[in-house]
């Protein structure tokens, strides 16, 4: 599989450099990520069981991070978690031990996923990955999601977007520089449009879990 430049994703200099910057950012942030994220996690922890309750079978979590979702998957889930940062994965591993959950954790780039077999998964789950990922990389990541899903396999993405409500938008504008500096995340990524334009993925539902900021994109890999 290749990018629009004709180079394999892993050999594309622009993508390679973007991923190196993201990896370096999260290798550093991993040391204090859960502490920084705690104010938001106070609400996210209530959403996780609801958003993962119907997820079953063989599941790939793309951008598993420090493993916050791991304790909330059902006991029947065969879980593989990938992340660009080895330091984040080390914390995810410790969380899996604490939760007494067996998870196959792999360091991999979601725009390539060399370690992940084709058509091997019933679900792809990703929380707050695409809002971190530059728009130039998102089509590649989505193509990998489509590749690793079985025909009829499902996906669920949770992302942050800019609110259309002026007072919430003003609040987001205050936080935006901090969020981008620490997490590399932005509220203006075009994730929904990228999914809508993908040939192998069909959206079945979109909705917000809070205000018009935290957006869920659900869908299926069609035949």
Is residue 1 a part of any domain in this protein? Answer: no
| Contact in structure between 98 and 74 (CB atoms under 8 Å) | no
What pLDDT shows up at residue 25? 65
Calculate mean pLDDT across residues 196-201: 96
Q: 65: alpha, beta or left, given left = phi > 0 and alpha = psi -120 to 50? A: left
Model confidence pLDDT, tens digit, residues 75-106: 999 999 999 889 889 999 999 999 999 999 99
Is residue 29 a part of any domain in this protein? Answer: yes
Model confidence pLDDT, tens digit, residues 170-184: 999 999 998 888 888
Is residue 4 a part of any domain in this protein? Answer: no
Is residue 2 a part of any domain in this protein? Answer: no
- Local confidence band at 32 (pLDDT 50, 70, 90 cut-offs): confident
CA distance 125 to 57: 12
Is residue 21 a part of any domain in this protein? Answer: yes
Is residue 111 a part of any domain in this protein? Answer: yes
pLDDT above 60 for 2: no
**Tokens representing residue 77 in the block:** 């889930």
CATH of the domain at 83: 3.40.50.150
Beta-sheet strand order (sheet of 214-221): 103-107, 78-83, 58-62, 121-127, 149-160, 214-221, 201-210
Who has greater pLDDT, 31 or 181?
181
Is residue 3 a part of any domain in this protein? Answer: no
What length does the chain have? 223
Model confidence pLDDT, tens digit, residues 46-81: 999 999 999 999 999 999 999 999 999 999 999 999
Structural domain range at position 41: 9-221
pTM for the predicted model, two decimal places: 0.89
Number of domains in the chain: 1
Model confidence pLDDT, tens digit, residues 113-168: 999 999 999 999 999 999 999 898 999 999 999 999 999 999 999 999 999 999 99
Is residue 119 a part of any domain in this protein? Answer: yes
């Amino acid at each position: 599989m290749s990018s629009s430049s004709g180079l394999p994703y892993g050999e594309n200099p622009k993508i390679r450099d973007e991923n190196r910057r993201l990896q370096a950012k999260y290798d550093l942030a991993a040391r204090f990520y859960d502490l920084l994220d705690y104010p938001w996690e106070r609400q996210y922890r209530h959403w996780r069981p609801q958003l993962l309750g119907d997820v079953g079978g063989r599941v790939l979590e793309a951008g598993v991070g420090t493993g916050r979702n791991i304790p909330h998957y059902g006991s029947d889930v065969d879980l593989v978690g990938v992340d660009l940062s080895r330091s984040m994965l080390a914390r995810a591993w410790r969380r899996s031990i604490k939760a007494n959950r067996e998870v196959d954790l792999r360091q991999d780039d979601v725009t390539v996923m060399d370690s992940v077999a084709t058509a091997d998964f019933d679900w792809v789950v990703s929380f707050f990955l695409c809002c971190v990922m530059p728009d130039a990389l998102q089509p590649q990541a989505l193509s990998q999601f489509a590749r690793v899903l079985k025909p009829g396999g499902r996906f669920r993405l949770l992302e942050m977007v800019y609110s259309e409500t002026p007072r919430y938008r003003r609040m987001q504008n205050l936080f935006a520089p901090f969020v981008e500096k620490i997490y590399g995340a932005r509220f203006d990524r075009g994730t929904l449009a990228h999914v809508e334009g993908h040939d192998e993925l069909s959206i079945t539902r979109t909705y917000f879990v809070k205000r018009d900021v935290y957006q869920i994109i659900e869908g299926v890999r069609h035949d």
